[in-house]
Structure 1
Amino acid sequence: MFLDRLDEHAARRPMAPALVRGDRTIGYGAFMTRVDACAAMLRGQGIGREDVVGLTIADEIDHLVACLALMRIGAAQITLGTQDPQPVRDRLAARVGVTRLLGAGSSVAVAGRAKAADEAPGQADHDRPAIYLPGSGTTGDVKLVSLSQSQIATQAAIAYADYRGERILQLAPVEYNNGKRLRLYCLYHGGACIFRDGSGVPLTQLCRDQGVTWFDLSAYLAHDLVRASAQHGGLPDFTAVRIGGSRVSTALRAEFRARVCQRLYISYGATEIGGMPGVCMAAPEELTPDAEVVGRPLDGMEVVIVDPEGRPVPPGTVGEIRMRAPGMVTGYVGDAEATRRFFRDGWFQPGDMMSLSADRMLTFHGRADDMIILNSINIFPGEIERALESHPLVAEAAAYPIASGVHGQIPVAAVQLRAGAALAERELLAYARERLGVRAPRKVTILAELPRNGQGKVLKRVLAEGRAGGG
């Protein structure tokens, strides 16, 4: 399955680049030899297929070598990130029953061996839990999913065929969910994983120097590239960019294409279904200035839009998206309540509000749990966000409700201005009222930066609780 594919690359194209950092290139042959040597070392330290190993390795190449070595052994693994406080690592380790800790060059036993948290008796190595990852979402406790080697291979085959033989730059560190998965998908297809080398070279120059053909990044890093373009210019013509993982406003899409890269793709997905673009991806010619389209469902992906009772809605109608595909996970590890809420009758329903046109184009409208109900009027946060982001001095907006004993909920918003911009909050209120009327926010707060989680998603819960400092 997954490792078999990498072994094929090593046998057929041993000199083809697998990992590139600065002036150092590791071919598939040398890479898999190193993986096998690491697996032998770990076996010698007593690690076996019944272990669950906590990985705490910040170096990205060393981390990937250890990750694949553990797959070779058949042991399950979870990243206990070096950037996380020790109590966070301890809680994650306890949830999946970590038995060994693996740092840079050493391992420590922490408990007796036990079956992985969701392992069934007699499973083959390629169908047993291989990697535990945090699921999608920005609220509540971290939800964990497990992926087997078979699932990783299936997801890669369905959603990431465009990685085949390409040179891929992914900015999220390998210790992060997206950073690890996307690099595994790249390796499955025989691509080259490009890493930053710590030299501080601007990303536009890195793409030129390393011949990056696919550049995956989040929306908040796209904002950084737009700001940096004044000094460093845009990306080379041979680089295509895919943005996903969170909402990508129409304003950001337009500015990014004008100043950074015309070859912009917008993706939508979730860890549970295969990451981004696990569900769909919009090509540059499909992007429109007046709607947040995210593309048509990929081959092998089933998508339906439903109403609150779970009934399919007509084309163009906004509802909740349901999706399913080969290789998807079917529940959360040790969280039956969350599994019942988000996995229904074989479908994954993440709570995103979407519409699906008659020609199968998906458009994002926000989160179901972000819906604002003002005096029985349903207001999509996206309506407010798009209106505020149409102001030339606004970089990004986030709309959310605050509770009211009289009105139910009151719409408010926080905005992040463009670099160097100055604007009064009352001006933004007036601007929004002109465009939205009764659906306009009753308060707008200007922040130096919108609060985000490690994946770049805006934390509206933090905004609603008043824990984000003003600008």
Structure 2
Amino acid sequence: MSENDALTIPRVLDRAARDFPELEAVVDGPVRVTYGELHGRVRAAARALLARGLEPGERIAIWAPNGLEWIVTALGAVSAGLVLVPVNTRYKGEEARWLLARSGARLLFVENGFLGNDYLAMLGAGGGGAAGRPVPDLPELTAVVDFGDRAGADIGTYADTGADTGADGGADGGGAATAGAGTGVTGWEAFLAAGRAVPEEEAVARAAAVTPGDVADVLFTSGTTGRPKGVRCTHGQDVRTYEAWCGRTGLARGDRYLIVNPLFHCFGYKAGVLACLLRGATMVLQRVFEPGETVRLVEAERITVLPGPPTVYTSMLDAPERSRHDLSSLRLAVTGAATVPVALVTRVRAELFPQVVTAYGLTESCGTVTSCSLTDDDVTVATTSGRPIEGVEVKVVDGKGEPVPAGEDGEILVRGHNVMLGYLDDPGATAEAVRDGWLVTGDRGRLDERGNLTVTGRSKDMFTVGGFNVYPAEVEQVLVRHGAVAEAAVVGVPDARLGEVGRAYVVLRPGARAAREELVAHCRELLANFKVPREVVVLDALPRNAAGKVQKSELPR
């Protein structure tokens, strides 16, 4: 395998299966698979995708929590030359429908019922749309596959280690076939069974035909207009970026990596799954972060690496269950946020992880731009996001685009192999975001004499809730859709547990009334939970400047 060939995700998986076939690859509850077995499962998924007639470059979407099926489907898709489109599990139906329509996804994978969410009902799936489509008004979508329905096929054919056979309750063995009849909704095992008609050689050939320049994924990130934009990244960009990430953070073969970051996010998929494939680390999956369960898993699985936003570590430190579990296996924490207190880094190093690094990135940069190293001191780790990874440049510029001296604040620009190809079907937004090869991040910061980057603020008014970015424009648009609301402004305010949460300021229509709880409930119906304002303040008017623009800095705090 040449160095260039290795810059595709299917080749990375081939290499992992060849070099450490007996090493445990994924732990998902009671299910454990080795790298050799993972390779076989991915091949089966790729064959099933080919059986659907999907062509290279077409897109498939996954709307499901962290799980073995998520990983197998994602790797099967990119091995078949398809493009992965993850969907946030916190999205409601309207948000997911918009993303599916925008991406033109041909196939959707869900785990219906996760956390009580009826994803199929949210989409209006299963009723047989126009021309037999599974979801009305999504003409590109040909079928929905439900991970939660595993009946209807010989599980042993695909699960060499005995997959979770008790998860479905389809005792008659026909559940998946019945679910798919006339509705466009198919069970997971029935989906895989169809792939047996495709010769394995076809799947091998498709994987071999993937090139480093092919688009591997489209991850959607919000913009100031309130609608997400699809970020296109290639196989070569993903692999090279996370080779550099692994080198900087010290992820190594034999590490046991607890992936609690959601797989629909760069932090979970790219810095998690792809990084583990590159280094031969074991992926231990946690579906939902809950501190008590996290510390239990650390002890039970001898976890060594646990990346996450700062709230993960503060919650672990304060978890009542911590003292009852042996956490001595922990070695490395990787985190990032606008502000990481020095005291937190010191405490995490003293009580949980001997090694802590911080990093900075955005979806448009494959998720990573800079990172500290294992030798950096507490102050450097807490007050900076480290130095650019291999092959990446960072400059901080003034309003004229000229670099500012070390220590001075300005706008952060990024150039290198990690900068996206562009936004999906949006050349205007792409041209605005990437100028002369430099990615305009929208963040402000400064570089020190050693090249360490400190993020000092945001050019835009985005804020981060528990590691998830929230763009106020989207929330404001939902608020004004309530019949009683005339105007709305949303800002982030400090929160001890999540870092920041949303606070909404609204002006009601003349004569209208709406309880604050009613407005929060309205948002909760249409938005993912992390986007929902935690409080609502009713004002007579929003503060504005002479040009009529809302002055958020003048809102009462």
TM-score norm. by structure 2 comes to 0.61
Sequence identity (%): 25
Q: What residue number does 1:180 align with?
A: 269
Question: Are 2:393 and 1:324 equivalent residues in the alignment?
Answer: no
1:3-82 map, 5 Å: 3-58=10-65, 60-82=67-89
Task: Give the alignment of 1:27-426 within 5 angstroms.
Answer: 27-58=34-65, 60-103=67-110, 111=139, 125-135=211-221, 140-161=226-247, 162-165=250-253, 166-182=255-271, 183-196=273-286, 202-228=293-319, 231-232=322-323, 235-236=327-328, 238-244=330-336, 246-276=338-368, 278-281=369-372, 283=374, 285-288=376-379, 292-369=383-460, 414-416=493-495
Q: Tell me, what secondary structure is at the counterpart of 1:102?
A: strand
Amino acid at match of 2:17: A
Give, in whole Å, the separation in 2 of the partners of 1:369 and 1:318.
Answer: 15
Deviation of residue 342 (structure 1)? 2.5
Q: Judging changes above 3 Å, is the alpha-carbon distance between structure 1 residues 274 and 75 closer, same or farther for their aligned structure 2 residues?
A: closer
Distance change in 2, residues 1:45/1:274 (3 Å): closer
Query: Do the aligned partners of residues 14 and 282 (structure 1) sit closer, same or farther apart at CA in structure 2, a change above 3 Å counting?
Result: closer
Please say if residues 305 and 322 of structure 1, whose CA atoms lie closer than 8 Å, have aligned partners that are also in contact. Answer: yes
Would you say the 8 A contact 2:21–2:35 is kept in 1? yes
CA separation of 1:163/1:319 partners in 2, compared to 1, >3 Å: closer, same or farther? same
- Higher share of residues assigned strand: 1
TM-score normalised per structure 1: 0.71
Check the 8 A contact 1:269/1:279 in 2, yes or no. yes
Secondary structure of the 2:228 match is coil
SS of 2:217 mapped into structure 1: strand
Structure 1 residues 65 and 462: alpha-carbon distance in aligned structure 2, compared to 1, 3 A threshold: farther
Aligned to 2:121: none
The one-letter code sitting in structure 2 at the alignment partner of 1:232 is: S
Q: Take 2:239 and 2:492, find their aligned partners in 1: how far apart are those partners?
A: 41
Quote the Cα distance in structure 2 between the aligned partners of 1:179 and 1:415: 25
1:442 paired residue number: none
Pairwise CA distance, 1:359: 1.9
SS of the residue aligned with 2:280?
A: coil
Residue pair 1:50, 1:113 contacting (<8 A) in 2 also: no
Q: Which runs of 5+ in 1 are unaligned?
A: 115-122, 372-380, 382-399, 401-411, 420-450
* SS across alignment from 2:391: coil
- Check 1:15–1:137 CA distance in 2 against 1; reply closer, same or farther (3 A cut): farther
Amino acid at match of 1:184: L
Offset of residue 251 of structure 1: 4.4
Question: Deviation string for 1:155-188 (max 9, x for gaps)?
Answer: 1222223333122122122233432222122213
1:137 to partner: Cα distance: 6.5
Kept in 1, the 8 Å contact 2:224–2:460? The answer is no
Q: Report how far residue 33 of structure 1 moved.
A: 0.4
Per-residue deviation, 1:15: 0.6
AA aligned opposite 1:26: V
Partner Cα distance (1:457, 1:257) in 2: 31
Higher RCO, 1 vs 2 (CA within 8 Å, ≥6 residues apart) = 2
Could you tell me how far apart the structure 2 residues matched to 1:199 and 1:316 are?
A: 37
RMSD: 4.1
Q: Would the alpha carbon gap of residues 361 and 221 (structure 1) be closer, same or farther in structure 2, given more than 3 Å must change?
A: same
Partner of 2:361, secondary structure, is strand
* Paired residues of 2:406 and 2:446 also in contact (CA < 8 A): yes
Give the residue type in structure 2 aligned to 1:169.
Answer: L
The Cα offsets for residues 95-130 of structure 1, whole Å up to 9 and x where unpaired, read as 12222333469996964599xxxxxxxx96542222
Q: CA deviation at 1:460?
A: 12
* Deviation at residue 369 of structure 1 after TM alignment: 3.4
| 1:63–1:462 distance in 2 versus 1, CA, 3 Å | farther
Instruction: Say whether the 8 Å CA contact 2:259–2:286 is kept in structure 1.
Output: no
Instruction: Give a deviation string over 1:408-459, Cα, whole Å, max 9, x none.
Output: xxxx98443589xxxxxxxxxxxxxxxxxxxxxxxxxxxxxxx9x9798998
CA distance in 1, matches of 2:276, 2:17: 14
Deviation at 1:304, TM superposition (A): 1.3
Contact 2:295 2:321 in 1 (8 A): no
Residues 177, 337 of structure 1: alpha-carbon distance in 2 compared, 3 angstrom cutoff: same
Q: Secondary structure at the match of 2:65?
A: coil
Q: Give how far 1:275 is off.
A: 1.4
Measure how far apart 1:330 and its partner are. 3.6
